[in-house]
Amino acid sequence: MTPVPLSYRLVDRRADTHDTVTLVLEPDGEALSPFAPGQFAMVYAFGVGEIPVSVSRAVDGRQLTHTVRAVGAVSRALCGLRPGGQVGVRGPFGTGWDTAAARGNDLLVIAGGIGLAPLRPLVDAVLAEPLAFGRLNVLAGARTPADLLYQDEFPAWGKPFGAVTVDRPSGGWTGRVGVVTTLLREARFAPSDTVAFVCGPEVMMRATARALIHAGVRPDRIQVSLERNMRCATAHCGHCQLGPLLLCRDGPVVGYDQAQPLLTVREL
């Protein structure tokens, strides 16, 4: 973990949606340590500020890919970068997806909106070792068809099963309509031998976890990625506290058996 930002340069930029951009970064010199799927970096837009951003793809421990939605001053500045622009990056921070616990099991990878970004490295890891895991199910939901990320990668994720759904169809959409939990009816998995990885808005994760538990998946085999206001990323400032957890250190990925009682308390 590097607490001081290192200089990274933007080498590629892709507009995914009207407000979401994928940025590919390479180090100007020294590189950060490799990121595990699910971990995050603190990315600094010079003269503007710093925000936590999940890694949506990592190559050889050097090249980093971040998918950023423009929702604030820093994220808008990052989305406005052009190739050749520089940022500061520090990390890796937090816990990652526990792929070791999933080996030999069926996998449910369930995403809502930009929650697909931190799940993509997990899918990459599973596809790189297909014989180490059971059936892979990638289920993704978004508000509209225009908000779906990584649509060019869906065909590869669709073997043996992958599906997407939207809340509001538009633009000639002929696919599924509804919340992402409706896709569970079509997924192929054995509940007692399944590990689920879930990321998206908190209300979506709670609803998905309830549906998974109802289907027979144990809470301790459901992993969720939680989000709170992260400032220091070193467990000193307390901004990301969720009950006994400091999510920059103890999260963002936690088991639902641990997260469930915390997410039911409104004040947290």
Structure confidence at residue 264 (pLDDT): 83
Query: How remote is the C-alpha of 208 from its chain's centroid?
Result: 15
Phi-psi label, residue 69: left if phi above 0, alpha if psi -120 to 50, beta otherwise: beta
For the domain made up of 2-93, the CATH class stated in words is mainly beta
Pairing of strands 222-225, 253-255: antiparallel
State pTM to two decimals.
0.95
Break the chain down into helix, strand, coil percent, rounded to 5. Answer: 30, 35, 35
* Residue 59 predicted with pLDDT over 80: no
Query: What does the alpha-carbon distance between residue 108 and residue 52 come to, in Å, rounded to a whole number?
Result: 25
- For the four alpha carbons of 117, 119, 123 and 129, in that order, the dihedral sign comes to positive
pLDDT average, residue stretch 169-180: 89
Distances in Å between the Cα of 226 and the Cα atoms of 116, 187, 221, 240 are: 13, 24, 16, 10
* Residue 154 predicted with pLDDT over 90: no
Place 266 in a pLDDT band, splitting at 50, 70 and 90.
confident
* Residue 24 predicted with pLDDT over 90: yes
Q: Which CATH number fits domain 100-263: 3.20.20.140, 3.40.50.80, 3.40.50.970, 3.90.79.10?
A: 3.40.50.80
The predicted-structure confidence for 102-141, as pLDDT tens digits, reads as follows: 999 999 999 999 999 999 999 999 999 989 999 999 999 9
The predicted-structure confidence for 199-257, as pLDDT tens digits, reads as follows: 999 999 999 999 999 999 999 999 999 988 888 999 899 999 989 999 999 999 999 99
CATH 2.40.30.10 location in the chain: 2-93
